[in-house]
Structure 1
């Protein structure tokens, strides 16, 4: 990764010890089955972020001043299983440091490790899955760590809510909880769908956001684009409600498959990431002189399963 800090922010706001936020790039594309290139997503995302204004008009904040530490990328690609374990391990390490942990993929199989780490660390976790695809296969192409299996484990171990779904295999009907699944063709005619999703959440929420949830007219740069997706402002309105009403404990964004001739989707991904951070921290003050030590300000509402005596 060429970027030294996220968005080119001053290094004073990018130190691990004083940053509230950790960003872990995972440039992995080992199991995608159509368009390749998601392994280039983190680099394109970080490059686009360097050209983004860091003042958010809507919230009136500069969230980077909370501190954003850009971690080393997870480069494990010997097998899908090894990659999932590497993501699980590094995610849990930073969660235990009481950071707000975020990841940028890479294809969706990375989320198996991410969700596993958050589920081990937070009680009664809701996983909010925003995606065009159900991703509920138990195995695919000989592996349980395929992108098509990204949410199977979560469906068995967490309170899984799926939003924007418009593509799935018939066998996934046997796994899917239809009361907690919001199909795109139904959402378009239901003005209360967002409230319904939030009503089914527990207090603590992890968000996994597959960029192909968005309509390909605004997000064509994915490995498997599907027509009929969500649009920018309805997506932001929904996310803002989730962050306002629930304790979002972390998130990942996956499946950016960059196109060298069209940089707009890369910039959208960077803007989406920054908007989500802005919603998370919009009501928190920034300490003076870069002294925004996370242990003091902290995620006050998080209920962690581990104690301070646990090893990192």
Structure 2
């Protein structure tokens, strides 16, 4: 591997499972994408970028890695889309049960079906904040309900789903979307109060699924289905910071980085976004303060002893 065994190359003392507050699960999967391929390479590119990132955050005046970030073995199950979703579900739920702040980096968006399912079983009255260019609400696509185009259909039925940045969808999704909880890009661009409206629609517990194609392709071109008219860096950070300040964000995933050898800036943006989200989550918490993650689950342990397919190269 071209990056260290620890996230961002942090010292071992901050990377141990037993003491780390934060879990990072890589999911290098690209089994259901239909246009730009390469999301399975996203976690590796992301982790490589973290090794070239300053770990002091100026805005929050913190070094959040000192809270402890444990990088798990990647989930490499690829027998079927359903098997991948189930592996993600079991692994995510295992770490929530261990009282960790669980984060994932994909991989394409179908992995979030399993992630959201685990968080929804662990936290009462969950809001799923879906930040994306695409609605991803289809009940099935290409003969499967475990498809990237169906990433939040289950969430729309079982959670308080709020969608932000949407600017592309199929006509069938118009019959499935909740317009009162959907904040289309063409509306938010002219609405100075859109962030307040989004937060007002949330419950206390929030899980964030962040598809990188929510961002404008001028700042992040390396994604499978780039769409014009996306979010920009500082408006995204302002929005996320307010969510973290006003709600109990219980975890998040970031997906759909499709690295391009000629564009390292997208990899670095994804790395920086991940670290900023952690910084917002823990900015008021001392490194030695115990993380309080309240859940109520009946869990059966899953296998996390998984590796990248090319680790033996």
In the other structure, the counterpart of 1:279 is 280
The answer for the alignment partner of 2:150 in structure 1 is: 149
CA deviation string 1:187-209 (max 9, x = no partner): 00000000000001000000000
Within 5 Å, which residues of 2 pair with 1:165-184?
165-184=166-185
Unaligned 5+ runs, structure 2: 302-313
Instruction: Tell me, in whole angstroms, the C-alpha distance in 1 between the residues paired with 2:239 and 2:98.
Output: 29
Task: Give 3-state SS (helix, strand or coil) of 2:198's partner.
Answer: helix
Aligned counterparts of 1:193 and 1:225: Cα–Cα separation in 2? 23
Q: CA offsets, 1:42-97, max 9 Å, x none?
A: 00000000000000000000000000000000000110000000000000000000
Show structure 1 runs of 5+ residues with no match: none
Partner of 1:298: 291
* Distance across 1 between alignment mates of 2:256 and 2:241: 22
Following TM superposition, by how much is the alpha carbon of 1:244 offset from its aligned partner in structure 2, in angstroms?
Answer: 0.1
Give me the whole-angstrom Cα distance separating, in 1, the residues matched to 2:4 and 2:182: 38
In 1, distance between residues paired with 2:153 and 2:220? 25
> Could you say what secondary structure the match of 2:234 adopts?
helix
Quick check: 1:23–1:103 contact (8 Å CA) kept in 2?
yes
**SS in structure 2 of the partner of residue 167 of structure 1:** coil
- Mapping of 1:227-242 within 5 angstroms? 227-242=228-243
Matched position secondary structure for 2:254:
strand
| Cα drift, residue 173 of structure 1 | 1.0
Q: Distance in 1 between matches of 2:300 and 2:137?
A: 33
Distance in 1 (alpha carbons) for counterparts of 2:199 and 2:4: 36
Hey, what does 2:119 align to over in structure 1? 118
Looking at structure 1, the residues matched to 4 and 83 of structure 2 have their Cα atoms a distance apart, in angstroms, of 26
Q: Distance between the aligned counterparts of 2:151 and 2:64, measured in 1?
A: 30
Q: CA deviation at 1:303?
A: 3.6
- The match for 2:25 is 24
- How far is 1:143 from its partner? 0.3
The equivalent of 2:76 in structure 1 is 75
**Matches for 1:220-231 after TM superposition, within 5 Å:** 220-231=221-232
Q: Secondary structure at the match of 1:98?
A: coil
Structure 1 SS opposite 2:224? coil
Which residue is 1:249 aligned to? 250
Q: Secondary structure at the match of 1:182?
A: strand
Task: Report the TM-score when normalising by structure 1.
Answer: 0.95
When the two structures are superposed, what TM-score results if normalisation uses the length of structure 2? 0.94
Q: Deviations over 1:272-305 (max 9, x none)?
A: 0000000000000112xxxx6xxxx122xx4412
Structure 1: 4+ residue segments shifted above 4 A: none
1:311 is displaced (CA, Å) by: 5.5
Using the alignment, how far apart are the partners of 1:159 and 1:79 within structure 2? 28
1: distance between equivalents of 2:239 and 2:128? Answer: 15
Task: Kindly tell me the number of residue pairs found equivalent between the two proteins.
Answer: 300
Partner residue, 1:92: 93
Cα deviation per residue 1:84-113 (whole Å; 9 max; x = unaligned)? 000000000000000000000000000000
Q: Which residue of 2 aligns with 1:37?
A: 38
